[in-house]
């Protein structure tokens, strides 16, 4: 929790007009408007300061942002937002944290639906070692339709259980299995068990050096083209040597609906949580959105039409 520091009252501002007042705002427009008022700057002055830093933003755009009528989305606007945080004397990401996820523009392209492992994971990904010759086309006969993933973080701050439910559709005849891949970050642990409730566990391959596990889930029958099947399984994890800090899922193709959910032990709640998206595994987060822990100690992010890329939830501990 940030301490509130009193400041002298001048220019019509109150003693409670420090950065904490901005941090308490729930929407991007409210936070920006409060920050501008706190610094006692006009939009014209702000525009001039942005221009001096090499970023040209119109007065109308700045006005729309503070009114909540629009928000930064394009690269130039996001760069302007970084400069705004500096100009308004705000901690890094104060305004970024309040941005909604990027809005999809137009229909999903054919190129997105044909994304390969190379595009998502990058040319030098160690996942190639565990998938071998199937890297470029694993699961290419199966199309995920929906994903629901629920994570449990225990009182020791370790991610211990991931429950996954997916609806899959065959896009070619004679499909009888689906390959799932679990990767861990440095400091996290490899799964200790895969428990399949809908389907049957097949071959499992583990690459402990690079932190990947690949497991087949067999349907128990062969699907014809356009048939759907439900898979439901748990990924069980051991106690992590360091506190867990995120969970994410990687999509090689768009899906119709995605729900990620993280439940924390009541005695070990994070101080902040964020939902985020990256278009490729090696890429930085494009946007982050603040998530609020509810009465059941849970945060979630729901995307009705997810894109190719990486969706995740991260959290910060005291």
3-state secondary structure 39-100: HCCCHHHHHHHHHHCCCCCCHHHHHHHHHCCCCCCCHHHHHHHHHHHHHCCCCCCCCHHHCC
Q: Is the pLDDT at 15 greater than 90, yes or no?
A: no
Taking residues 246-267, report their average pLDDT. Answer: 93
Confidence of residue 198 (pLDDT cuts 50, 70, 90): very high
Confidence of residue 129 (pLDDT cuts 50, 70, 90): low
**What class has domain 110-316?**
mainly beta
* Predicted local confidence at residue 117, as pLDDT: 47
Q: Is the pLDDT at 53 greater than 70, yes or no?
A: yes
For 90-132, the DSSP string reads --TTTTGGGPPPPPP-SSPPHHHHT--HHHHH-TT-THHHHHG
Taking residues 121-131, report their average pLDDT. Answer: 52
* Predicted local confidence at residue 127, as pLDDT: 54
Q: Which fold has domain 19-98?
A: 434 Repressor (Amino-terminal Domain) (1.10.260)
* Predicted local confidence at residue 19, as pLDDT: 55
Q: Is the pLDDT at 49 greater than 60, yes or no?
A: yes
Confidence of residue 3 (pLDDT cuts 50, 70, 90): very low
* Predicted local confidence at residue 139, as pLDDT: 78
* Predicted local confidence at residue 135, as pLDDT: 43
Q: Tell me which of 245 and 69 has the higher pLDDT.
A: 245
* Predicted local confidence at residue 104, as pLDDT: 41
What is the DSSP code (8-state) at residue 18? S
Q: Is the pLDDT at 13 greater than 70, yes or no?
A: no
- Condensed to tens digits (0 to 9), the pLDDT of residues 280-297 reads 877 777 778 899 999 999
List the single range of 15-29, 184-198, 301-315 with lowest mean pLDDT.
Answer: 15-29
* Predicted local confidence at residue 26, as pLDDT: 65
Q: Tell me which of 162 and 40 has the higher pLDDT.
A: 162
CB atoms closer than 10 angstroms to residue 131: 20
Average pLDDT of the chain to the nearest whole number: 80
Q: What is the pTM of this model?
A: 0.61
CA distances from 300 to 30, 114, 260 (A): 23, 28, 6
């Amino acid at each position: 929790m940030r301490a509130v520091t009193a400041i002298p009252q001048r220019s019509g501002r109150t003693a409670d007009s420090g950065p904490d007042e901005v941090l308490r705002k729930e929407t991007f427009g409210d936070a920006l408007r409060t920050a501008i008022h706190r610094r006692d700057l006009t939009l014209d002055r702000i525009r001039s300061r942005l221009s001096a830093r090499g970023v040209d933003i119109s007065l109308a755009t700045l006005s729309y942002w503070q009114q909540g009528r629009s928000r930064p989305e394009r690269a130039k606007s996001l760069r302007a937002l970084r400069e705004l945080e500096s100009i308004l004397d705000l901690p890094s990401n104060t305004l970024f944290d309040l941005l909604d996820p990027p809005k999809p523009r137009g229909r999903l392209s054919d190129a997105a639906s044909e994304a390969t492992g190379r595009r998502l994971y990058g040319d030098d990904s160690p996942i190639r070692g565990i998938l071998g010759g199937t890297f470029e086309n694993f699961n290419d006969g199966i199309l995920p339709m929906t994903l629901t993933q629920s994570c449990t973080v225990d009182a020791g701050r370790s991610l211990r259980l991931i429950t996954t439910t997916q609806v899959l559709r065959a896009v070619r005849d004679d499909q009888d299995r689906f390959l799932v891949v679990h990767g861990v970050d440095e400091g996290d642990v490899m799964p200790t068990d895969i428990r399949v409730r809908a389907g049957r566990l097949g071959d499992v391959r583990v690459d402990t050096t690079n932190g990947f596990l690949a497991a087949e889930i067999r349907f128990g029958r062969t699907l014809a083209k356009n048939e759907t099947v439900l898979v439901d399984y748990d990924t069980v994890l051991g106690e992590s040597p360091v506190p867990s800090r995120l969970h994410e899922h990687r999509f090689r193709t768009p899906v119709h609906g995605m729900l990620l959910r993280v439940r924390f032990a009541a005695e070990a709640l994070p101080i902040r949580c964020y939902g985020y998206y990256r278009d490729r595994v090696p890429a930085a987060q494009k946007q982050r959105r603040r998530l609020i822990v509810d009465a059941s100690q849970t945060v979630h992010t729901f995307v009705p039409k997810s894109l190719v890329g990486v969706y995740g939830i991260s959290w910060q501990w005291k």
